[in-house]
Chains A and B, each alone.
Chain A
């Protein structure tokens, strides 16, 4: 019963998304194009934030801790970034 309500609610949310962006009036293939483009852009944003946001937060933290004002001299930023990129490439 809860699953059915959730599915109905998700369907209603999708309908709101169609109405607000104006896609409701388009033909199905145009809807698919728009959804694909939007999904790709959102996926790229999520991926970039997953890779780069933690390291930037950590380096900022380090800067404040060591009371130095040069961001790029602190820590092993190039190495850390390189390591993280390696890790993400594995996945």
Chain B
């Protein structure tokens, strides 16, 4: 529970039989020809997960997932226990009509039927989520750039209903939008081009790609995306989630095996389930676990008949948005080549955000795009638009054009959105004649390093890779989720806080997304506010010794002011 899965090595098994003709050693343990040997010494590892297989990486891969402190874990469980008791109390009062029930209920006439609503499924929603609901779904009334305007809301019945007061909080620093390169703007090159496209094509497409919804803008965009990624051909779709959930069923079916990472996004999980293939899950970013699954799959084949699998598809993401970790792509590619599997890489968060040229995680590691069979990504995050793409071989993409559900049934991308992507992509590639793209990439990388370093020095527990622009800050306790969101908004900073069920029950967090549009002053303001709130709420759990702020942490509570 408190240890991270990425840093734990697989337990060595004692094999009584030999698969490769070698005699077992004294304790029955056979050395297998695994590509990635398990760690021999079983010392508890330092949490900085560096250099397991140094030969395939050309730069340090530093990820850290610090363990939950035991006291904090115990107190978090205690907090959840107390809130559960009060949840039962409130449910009892609602059931016996001592207080008004705001939740959907069946009518009296239907009491004898099979119940429509299972109470316990919504227990968490009714009794915890509702109490801190004002931290989510905040209405924004401006473009979600580096600063945004948030509409103020009040609630008179403890978050069951909201009313707008009419006031607007201006210039709230936006630390929650996926705006990695700052292309979410309402003026400038991209916006003007999008306006022109709207004037020429209108806004609606009124058809699917198969029928009259295929515009020349889509063709232009697809050629550009293929050139950007370095693949032969690509196809774009109107919605990022639908790209995954509608295309994985096209690629894999019955008799295929899907190996998917533990922490994959809901769209990948949904697509895998819809496909009807067998799904096996490997531990997050753990190459030994993946290798074991591959070996077992090839040795044993399909479950009952032991026939070989039709294909084995590995589903991974470039950056995992809840952890901030980057996939170990060189190792995955080495495994894929050795065991003849296919790789599906979902670069929703990493395209445009990683790599010297902004071409994603493949560029970040300096690998060949041809090694990844299917490169998928979305335009929502770094390009300031909406939609998704899939890139790969020409045969693959031609197959998808005819067989994908998205192509046949879903409306295609709107023209101004396609134009926004075209302009922003050309800007990143440097083809529009300015150095704006390169400047933004450098700014993002600098901002990421600075922000992460400062937060770690302050003493917070930060998960993830040092180069990922997604920064999760651990909160743990349920009351602190609500308190953090509210305190940050009071200081004019908009943040996203996440709890169960998007994360494990005790590991709730606040997730910051660093953007190239943030200037250093904005980041400093935000960091000072985060430090203040961290002292107020006692969030500085980290036990690593950082040189600058260790002395001040002990006495900082005397200076902090109360709520």
Contacts and interface: CB of A to CB of B under 8 A. Distances in A.
B17 interface: no
Nearest to B557: A12
B82 A24 contact: no
B86 A19 contact: no
Contacts of B563: 11, 15
Contacts of B483: 19, 24
Contact of A15 (B80, B89, B562): B562
A18 B483 CA distance: 10
A62 interface: no
Contacts of A9: 557-558
A19 B83 CA distance: 12
Looking at chain B's contact residues, the main secondary structure is: helix
A22 B477 contact: yes
A10 B366 CA distance: 56
A59 B538 CA distance: 44
Nearest to A26: B86
Interface string B349-385: 0000000000000000000000000000000000000
Given A16-B538, A19-B537, A34-B82, A24 B482 contact: yes
Contact of A19 (B78, B480, B557): B480
A24 B478 CA distance: 9
Nearest to B84: A22
A41 B326 CA distance: 50
A65 interface: no
B86 A20 contact: no
B558 A22 contact: no
What's the interface size class on A, roughly? 10 to 19
A26 B480 CA distance: 13
B562 A8 contact: yes
Contacts of A18: 479
B482 A25 contact: yes
Given A12-B560, A19-B479, A26 B75 contact: no
Interface in A1-46: 8-9, 11-12, 15-16, 18-27, 30, 34
B69 interface: no
Contacts of B204: none
A19 B480 CA distance: 6
A23 B560 contact: no
B158 A22 contact: no
Interface string B538-563: 10000000000000000001101111
Contacts of A19: 477, 479-480, 483, 537-538
B82 A25 contact: no
A34 B89 CA distance: 12
B79 interface: yes
A25 B562 contact: no
B131 A26 contact: yes
Contacts of B89: 30
B286 to A, nearest CB: 33
Interface in A45-82: none
The 3 A-B pairs at the shortest CB distance, nearest first, are namely A22-B79, A24-B479, A25-B131
5 contacts: A12-B560, A18-B479, A19-B477, A19-B538, A25-B479
